[in-house]
């Protein structure tokens, strides 16, 4: 029931009470009846006001829950992208762009360790990675250069996507705080 409906009912009850008192031959009984109708109407009005406030609070709570779920989803996507970058793309890029004369790089065991996380890569990069690995890790070779360029592009895309997600998260945080602050002001 809306506030307007409640006001209409209360108004009709008041008018009805006044008419009953004026038309009644038994004024004291009519007066008590009118008083009872007025009290019931006032109670109905207060109940409608409380119900409206509860509905507003419930709507705000639902919106806060919705935002919280969206934030959790975005945070999970961000974690996945960071994991992709940290366990596959960055290590592989470092591996294939270092000078082979450095002792710790260009070791098959290092490449195999990085390769364990290739499932984080897209299909094209997995194929290029396999070609590079099967070609004997030729520094400066065509498979190496092709893989390097593809990884650079993919890293830029993933970093950009991560920034977009973080911006979206900031917007949701602001919206969440705004609703939360409005809830406290309304009390």
Q: Highest mean pLDDT: which of 79-93, 94-108, 127-141?
A: 79-93
pLDDT digits (tens, 9 = 90+) for 72-93: 999 999 999 999 999 999 999 9
Q: What is the pLDDT of residue 33?
A: 63
Contact (CB, 8 A) for 168 and 81: no
Domain that includes residue 173, residue range: 3-185
pLDDT band at residue 99 using 50, 70 and 90 as cut-offs: low
Q: What is the pLDDT of residue 105?
A: 53
pLDDT digits (tens, 9 = 90+) for 42-51: 666 666 666 7
CB neighbours (10 Å) of residue 169? Answer: 16
* Cα three-residue angle 12-14-20, rounded to 5 degrees: 100
Query: How many domains does the chain contain in total?
Result: 1
Between residues 105 and 70, the one the model is more confident about:
70
Closest to 68 measured CA to CA, from 183, 159, 181, 177: 177
Contact (CB, 8 A) for 13 and 37: yes
First to last CA, the chain: 22
CB neighbours (10 Å) of residue 89? Answer: 22
Question: Based on the number of CB atoms within 10 Å of its own CB, is 14 exposed (0-12), middle (13-18) or buried (19 or more)?
Answer: middle
CA–CA dist 114, 82 (Å, integer): 15
Least confident of 31-40, 71-80, 132-141, 177-186: 31-40
């Amino acid at each position: 029931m809306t506030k307007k409906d409640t006001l209409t009912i209360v108004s009709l009850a008041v008018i009805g009470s006044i008419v009953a008192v004026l038309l009644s031959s038994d004024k004291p009984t009519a007066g008590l009846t009118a008083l009872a109708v007025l009290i019931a109407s006032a109670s109905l009005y207060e109940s409608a006001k409380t119900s409206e406030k509860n509905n507003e609070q419930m709507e705000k709570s639902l919106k806060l829950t919705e935002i919280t779920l969206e934030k959790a989803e975005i945070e999970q996507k961000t974690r996945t992208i960071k994991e992709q970058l940290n366990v596959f793309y960055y290590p592989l890029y470092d591996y294939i762009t270092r000078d082979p004369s450095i002792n710790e790089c260009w070791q098959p065991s290092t490449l195999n360790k990085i390769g364990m996380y290739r499932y984080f890569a897209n299909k094209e990069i997995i194929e290029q990675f396999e070609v590079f690995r099967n070609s004997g890790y030729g520094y400066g070779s065509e498979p190496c250069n092709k893989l390097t360029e593809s990884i650079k592009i993919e890293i830029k895309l993933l970093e950009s996507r991560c920034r977009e997600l973080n911006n979206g998260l900031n917007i949701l945080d602001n919206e969440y705080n705004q609703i939360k602050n409005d809830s406290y002001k309304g009390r």
